Chain A
């Protein structure tokens, strides 16, 4: 039993995780004729919970309840993984990335997120405002403006060879490269 737990605590290599994620495309279609995607739940949430008269939120969100089950499942899956993960994540990062992040001032590379940035103590600081509030806002605004996120466009859309999804994915990378190479050093230094 202990051996099984130790085995389960290992990370999944890319060549297992990637194909498994890809299988969600046919599973979504076969189970309920749905296109794989996650960010539309943000819209359904607004439609269901926020009383606002805007055409973008005026539709029958009850037909999309399945998507709340899916993201609720992701949350539960995240919790269940705590039983089959190491005490502390020590991600096997490239040594160049480790050196670069240390140079930028991130000393603690344990865990899934840098603890120096992602903690409740930073909530009411400029750093917290930029990392949590503006970061989240850009994700929510951008994904709906682009009409999809990494799952809906980059996985589902590119699997369909859809030009709109290719443009959106190129956009995701342009934005990510700008944040990483132009803003990150400044954001961390705050």
Chain B
């Protein structure tokens, strides 16, 4: 059990390193690219998001069709997030407001800090504070 946990953790560390490199090399972490996307002036970001979804979708179909197991031999569990349209929509809009201002979503925040943009540390701390605040007011807002 302990051994496989270490294997899994190191695997996700390596995946994270690769993901960080891809995020920077593809310019997804660029504030300018996000502005270009929300102004519909380039295909770049839409191409990345669209082809990522396409590959993700095809991969899931293949995993299901051939009943592929995890490396530990377990059955793969597909857990779609529950539909709560109010929180999905209102939360989504609030997230989008922040996404365009900062020009980065959570993954890129970590990549930007690693790449030397130390000021983004302030943004990450604010995001953690925002999550904390959500946990506090969760019962009082519509879901």
Residues of A within 8 A of B (CB): 11-36, 38-39, 41-43, 45-46, 50, 52, 54, 56-57, 65-67, 69-82, 84-85, 89, 91, 93-94, 96-97, 100-101, 109, 112-114, 118-120, 123, 128, 130-165, 167-181, 183-184, 187
Contacts and interface: CB of A to CB of B under 8 A. Distances in A.
B92 A142 contact: yes
B101 A131 contact: yes
Contacts, number: 508
Nearest to A41: B106
A46 B117 CA distance: 23
B17 to A, nearest CB: 4
Contacts of A84: 21, 25
Contact of A73 (B19, B26, B29, B71): B19
Interface string B61-96: 011000010111010111111111101111111111
Interface in B33-53: 33-39, 41-45, 47-53
A69 to B, nearest CB: 4
B97 to A, nearest CB: 4
Interface string B101-140: 1110111011111111111101111111111111110100
B122 A69 contact: no
A74 to B, nearest CB: 4
Given A130-B101, A147-B81, A175-B99, A77 B132 contact: no
A181 B35 CA distance: 10
A73 B119 contact: no
A57 B135 contact: yes
A164 B120 CA distance: 29
A38 B59 contact: no
19 contacts: A26-B63, A29-B60, A32-B8, A35-B78, A74-B19, A82-B116, A114-B31, A118-B120, A123-B119, A138-B98, A144-B130, A145-B90, A147-B87, A151-B107, A159-B59, A170-B92, A172-B95, A178-B93, A178-B97
A108 to B, nearest CB: 11
B126 A136 contact: yes
